[in-house]
Amino acid sequence: MTLDAQRRNILAGRMYNDLTDELVRARRQAVLLTTEYNESFGQPQEHREAILRRLLQAVGSGCHFEPTFRCEFGFNITIGDHFYANFDCVMLDGGGITIGDHVLFGPRVGIYTSNHAVDAAERAAGACYAKPVAIGDHVWIGGDVTINQGVTIGANTIIGSGSVVTRAIPANVVAVGSPARVVREITDADKTGYRP
């Protein structure tokens, strides 16, 4: 099966063999490109974004990862404009990751769309499945947050540090905990009057 066919199978949520030569090579290529990107720290933004465009499915302007950034494949990640991730961001993107505009990640955020089979023999044979993750515009993800497969996070939402997101989080809320749960809405009372 070609890499494109395997990618379509993975994105469709079907069980796939994580150990095929094509997927092993794709992960190796992602390691090479993320290493090149991480080592380009301090170089012009245009150069660094050009590396991301070789790695990711789509990337908007003003995209920045502090070193180190790692992803599984890269070709299933779409990022909007003005994205910032603090250090040690990890994205397992088998199921597809979509991130909106003006999104901030604290340090050590992990997004995991892929999962291994529950049955031990299937797991040993490389059986995996994946579900997408989608993050809306103007979202702030605190440090040490884990986002699990199949999750959608609505626009204008904050996920508190140390949270584990296991289910959909609506727009315009603050959510925190393990598993993350909504603790309050974001309202006009949160405006401080700050003007840049």
- Could you write out the three-class secondary structure of the chain? CCHHHHHHHHHCCCCEECCCHHHHHHHHHHHHHHHHHHHCCCCCHHHHHHHHHHHCCEECCCCEECCCEEECCCCCEEECCCCEECCCEEEECCCCEEECCCCEECCCCEEECEEECCCHHHHHCCEEEECCEEECCCCEECCCCEEECCCEECCCCEECCCCEECCCECCCEEEEECCEEEEEECCHHHCCCCCC
Tokens coding 116: 């291994």
Main-chain phi, psi angles of 171, to 5 degrees: -75, 155
Active site residue 116: yes
Whole-angstrom distance, CA of residue 43 vs CA of residue 114: 32
Of these residues, 47, 64, 102, 116, which one is catalytic? 116
- Point out the residues that are catalytic: 116
